[in-house]
């Protein structure tokens, strides 16, 4: 079969224009398939690592997915708050290494406001256990200091020193602004591609301070406490929305989870973020499957083009095939020759698209990671991709058998002298 490789290469080169266009179609189709596969994988990883390094997310007892949705993605609302005393009691457990309280409820221009403590900037991790990095400024220290996520800063065009006012709730209703107590931007975080980018971070005490003269979600009529006197009040938070726990040893996680579930004073729930995020992805992952399906369809179109070109070339190649038979090629050689040619085109297409995808990942990966929260795009071929590539070759082999079979029949009928 070795002589056939040489002949197949020369023959293919002789028809390089039509085969070149077919190669282009195959390359684009495989590139699409590979890109969708890689982005899908990266999106999944990025999503699963929206928060990492956290062992437990704790909130009022509810559906675990609901807890993750509001605590991490700020979608929906907590059914109940967590008492500050409960938080302190659990955070004091000897197994707990660090804790980050989260207080939600306010917003700024549609971006969620997160009340927390400086521990957030120290212990919060995302992606591959990456810490938060400041693009400018530093963590909040004063009462009315705010730290912005990257997207908040770019979308609203804020710089350090900017004065901003927060709104109560989602900020939809008029007259719900905390206009009397403006905040100063003291820090801006670098992009993470996670919900962090959309957060406005202030201290827990600031959350207390802006709500001193509020009750039941509206300002108390006739009561206005100016910003300069709030420090005279007790700013110890009474409740928070949820909190994150990091443990000294991961092995303690189930024991602590049970302990929190059995907490007597109020009904609480602790979830392992990885498990919950995976569950969440199952529900939003339909889109990726649809994308992959469409990519396979595009690949099928590419293969149909290849088969059409091979079939169309057979008539002009009948003499060539007869000559090959006269020097000793059997019909099975002819079959092999055509299959080989199709597979060569496919192989070249796959190699080209691997090059394209790898270059794209190398050049555009960091940008994609920052913009869309994709975890870093892989440069090497993964096991899943190998399976994908095997599928591509199997499909190409099946399709190439069609023109090859026709050539086989033709060369049997023509013998040494083609009847044209």
Residues that bind other proteins (CB under 8 A): 2-3, 6-7, 10-11, 13-14, 319-320, 323-333, 415-417
Tokens of 331: 């019909």
Instruction: Write down the least CB distance from residue 392 to other proteins, Å.
Output: 28
Q: What is the DSSP letter of 92?
A: T
Pick 384 or 415: Cβ nearer other proteins: 415
Pick 398 or 416: Cβ nearer other proteins: 416
- Cα–Cα distance between 400 and 390 in angstroms, integer? 15
- Cα–Cα distance between 48 and 323 in angstroms, integer? 61
Contact in structure between 53 and 246 (CB atoms under 8 Å): yes
Pick 163 or 319: Cβ nearer other proteins: 319
Instruction: Write down the least CB distance from residue 324 to other proteins, Å.
Output: 7
Could you tell me which residues are beta bridge partners of residue 100? 244
Contact in structure between 415 and 330 (CB atoms under 8 Å): no
3-state SS class at 56: strand
Strands (E), 216-277: 218-219, 239-240, 242-247, 268-271
User: Could you give the angle at the alpha carbon of 148 between the alpha carbons of 145 and 152, nearest 5°?
Assistant: 140
Helices and strands counted in the chain (H then E): 13, 17
Instruction: Write down the least CB distance from residue 322 to other proteins, Å.
Output: 8
DSSP 269-314: EEE-HHHHHHHHHHHHTHHHHHHHHHHHHHHHHHHHHHHHHHHHHH
Pick 379 or 416: Cβ nearer other proteins: 416
Pick 199 or 325: Cβ nearer other proteins: 325
Tokens of 137: 């400024």
Instruction: Write down the least CB distance from residue 378 to other proteins, Å.
Output: 40
Instruction: Write down the least CB distance from residue 372 to other proteins, Å.
Output: 48
Tokens of 328: 């000793």
Segment holding 389, helix H or strand E: helix 383-414
Instruction: Write down the least CB distance from residue 332 to other proteins, Å.
Output: 7
Pick 120 or 408: Cβ nearer other proteins: 408
- 48, 180, 279, 373, 394 from 340: Cα distances, Å: 42, 77, 45, 42, 13
Pick 103 or 335: Cβ nearer other proteins: 335
Pick 20 or 137: Cβ nearer other proteins: 20
Q: How many residues does the chain have?
A: 420
- Cα–Cα distance between 144 and 163 in angstroms, integer? 10
Pick 48 or 335: Cβ nearer other proteins: 335
Instruction: Write down the least CB distance from residue 377 to other proteins, Å.
Output: 41
Instruction: Write down the least CB distance from residue 416 to other proteins, Å.
Output: 5
- Cα–Cα distance between 331 and 4 in angstroms, integer? 13
């Amino acid at each position: 079969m070795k002589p056939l490789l040489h002949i197949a290469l020369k023959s293919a080169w002789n028809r390089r224009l039509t085969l070149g266009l077919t190669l282009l179609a195959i390359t684009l189709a495989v590139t699409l398939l590979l890109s969708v596969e890689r982005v899908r994988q990266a999106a999944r990883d990025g999503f699963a690592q929206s928060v990492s390094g956290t062992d437990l997310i704790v909130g009022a007892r509810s559906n675990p997915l609901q807890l993750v949705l509001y605590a991490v993605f700020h979608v929906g609302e907590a059914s109940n708050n967590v008492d500050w005393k409960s938080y302190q009691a659990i955070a004091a457990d000897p197994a707990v290494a660090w804790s980050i309280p989260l207080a939600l409820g306010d917003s700024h221009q549609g971006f969620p406001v997160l009340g927390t403590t400086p521990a957030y900037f120290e212990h919060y991790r995302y992606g591959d256990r990456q810490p938060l990095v400041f693009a400018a400024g530093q963590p909040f220290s004063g009462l009315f200091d705010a730290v912005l996520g990257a997207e908040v800063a770019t979308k609203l065009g804020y710089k350090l020193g900017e004065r901003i006012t927060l709104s109560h709730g989602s900020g939809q209703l008029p007259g719900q602004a905390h206009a009397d107590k403006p905040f100063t931007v003291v820090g801006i975080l670098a992009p993470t591609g996670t919900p962090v980018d959309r957060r406005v971070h202030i201290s827990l005490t600031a959350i207390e301070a802006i709500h001193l003269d509020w009750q039941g979600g509206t300002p108390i009529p006739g009561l206005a406490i100016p910003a300069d006197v709030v420090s005279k009040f007790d700013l110890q938070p009474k409740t928070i929305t949820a909190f994150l726990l990091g443990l000294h040893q991961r092995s303690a996680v189930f024991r602590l989870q049970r302990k929190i579930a059995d907490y007597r004073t109020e009904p609480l729930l602790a979830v392992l973020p990885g498990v919950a995020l995976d569950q969440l992805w199952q529900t939003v992952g339909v889109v990726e499957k649809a994308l992959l399906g469409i990519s396979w369809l595009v690949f099928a179109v590419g293969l149909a083009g290849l088969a059409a070109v091979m079939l169309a070339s057979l008539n002009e190649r009948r003499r060539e095939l007869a000559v090959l038979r006269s020097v000793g090629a059997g019909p099975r050689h002819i079959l092999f020759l055509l299959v080989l040619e199709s597979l060569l085109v496919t192989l070249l297409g796959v190699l080209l698209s691997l090059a394209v995808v790898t270059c794209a990942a190398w050049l555009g990966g960091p940008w994609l990671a920052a913009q869309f929260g994709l975890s870093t795009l892989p440069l090497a071929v993964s096991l899943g991709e190998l399976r994908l590539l095997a599928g591509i070759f199997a499909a190409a082999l099946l399709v190439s058998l069609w023109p090859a079979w026709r050539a086989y029949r033709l060369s049997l009928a023509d013998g040494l002298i083609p009847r044209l």
